[in-house]
Amino acid sequence: MVPNRLACAGALLSLFASFATCLPASAQKTASLRTLASQRKLRFGTAAGIGLLRSDADAGVYRNTTATEFDMIEPENEFKPPAIWLGPDTYDWSNADWLIGAPGQTGWAQANHLAVRGHVLVYARDDGYTLPDWLRKRESTITPAQARQYLHDYIHAVVSRYRGKVFAWDVVNEAIDDNPNSNPYRLRNSFWYRKLGPDFIKLAFQYAHEADPRAQLYLNEYGAEGMGSKSDAVFDILKWLKHQGVYVTGAGMQYHLSIDDPITAGDAHYQNVSRLHAAGFTFMVTELDVHVPVTDPGIGFHASNVADLDRQAAIYREVLQLALNSPNCRGFQVWGYVDTHSWIPAVSPGRGAATLMDDHYQPKRAYYALQQALGAPVTASNGFALH
Ligand code: XIL
């Protein structure tokens, strides 16, 4: 009985196998975004929750999908100063070590062949998730010289610990104010600005470069993607750093968008990356998501209008196209890839469904739009190899 059953099963299997090989290409399982992007030499990443990875969230689907679809990862919150910097000379390395290993060791990222972007060394605002509590509480007693020493010690501690394992750092994040002000470069009034003036930016880049001379170093910002006074400020800061001989790789462009933000060849987005290129700077798309109105405010899984998901897909494709079209683009990264773990519903109630996959990890139109664009034949205008 048993051999007969096996023979029967074997015959069925080979029947399926021959059937599968006869399927038209379009009906066969297509490659992951990671595979397609690597064929284009595009670094293709996502922000991810280290806690979610560590806890095998969603029965392991989160972990597997992160490793299958991406070749670059950026901890969404766990590398921010409040998560690591518990006091002067006191650090919590647990999550970062899990991801990339304590000195001399490796972690989950290396085991899964993911490059790591570090985010962020100085988050230039005073919220709970950006500035360590202990610094805020002691502000009135901290002198500029002490602040400078703290900045030095923290950046050296983090960047040296992971030297050679974090290939790029957001050195300074969100330093520019949303509204015009009288500070140089329209800098935000933050703890670091109050203590050190614009030099906090220069010092942060210098310390990061000293600690890992081979790491790419970015000035990361939101709302500075096209042409305008905020992107002018980014451009001016980059030039100021370069002029002083301070190493900086380029601009991190967050790209948190809505469906009302289309991008077309030659527009302000293209002009902005061209002027960076002309001045010798590269850029990365660092935090792309595209939110839509939803029927479940605060939860944010269900788009109010199905047609919005087509517009969303078009915008994802347009940003990818900008990356592929730009010789100075060093990578493309989304801010989470599954709607259940996106930050948008919590910060913008009424908005959500901003990522590539729905609340069941099913690819949305945006996913297929990226798949199609990455798999499209390379032409003279979309063929710049990204590095
Ligand atoms: C956000 C995270 O996604 C949230 O989980 C957290 O509560 C707040 O910070 N720009 C950045 C990111 O550079 O660090 C922010 O991340 C989103 C906006």
Residue nearest to atom 12 of ligand 1 (CA): 76
Taking the CA of residue 119 as reference, the ligand 1 atom at the shortest distance is 14
Please check the confidence at residue 232 and state whether its pLDDT lies above 90: yes
Could you read off the pLDDT of 40-64 as tens digits, one per residue? 999 999 999 999 999 999 999 999 9
Q: Read off the pLDDT band of 2 (50, 70, 90).
A: very low
Ligand 1 center–CA 11 separation, angstroms: 53
Three-state SS for the chain is: CHHHHHHHHHHHHHHHHHHHHHCCHHHCCCCCHHHHHHHCCCCEEEEECHHHHHCCCHHHHHHHHHHHHCCEEEECCCCCHHHHEEECCEECCHHHHHHHCCCCCCCHHHHCCCEEEEEEEEECCCCCCCCCHHHHHCHHHCCHHHHHHHHHHHHHHHHHHCCCCEEEEEEEECCECCCCCCCHHHECCCHHHHHHCCHHHHHHHHHHHHHCCCCEEEEEECCCCCCCHHHHHHHHHHHHHHHCCCCCCEEEECCEEECCCCCCCCCHHHHHHHHHHHCCCEEEEEEEEEEEEECCCCCCCCECCHHHHHHHHHHHHHHHHHHHHCCCEEEEEECCCEHHHCCHHHHCCCEECCCCECCCCCECHHHHHHHHHHHCCCCCCCCCCCC
Q: For the whole model, what pTM was predicted? A: 0.91
Residue nearest to atom 4 of ligand 1 (CA): 343
Could you read off the pLDDT of 308-351 as tens digits, one per residue? 999 999 999 999 999 999 999 999 999 999 999 999 999 999 99
74 is catalytic: no
Ligand 1 center–CA 208 separation, angstroms: 22
- Residue 143 tokens read as 């002198």
Looking at residue 377, what is its pLDDT? Answer: 80
Mean pLDDT of the chain: 92
174 is catalytic: yes
Task: State the catalytic residue, choosing from 174, 221, 225, 318.
Answer: 174
The CATH label, of 3.30.1330.60, 3.40.50.1370, 1.10.3470.10, 3.20.20.80, for the domain at 29-375 is 3.20.20.80
Could you read off the pLDDT of 73-87 as tens digits, one per residue? 999 999 999 999 999
**Which protein residues are within 6 Å of ligand 1, measured from CB?**
76-77, 129, 173, 222, 254, 287, 343
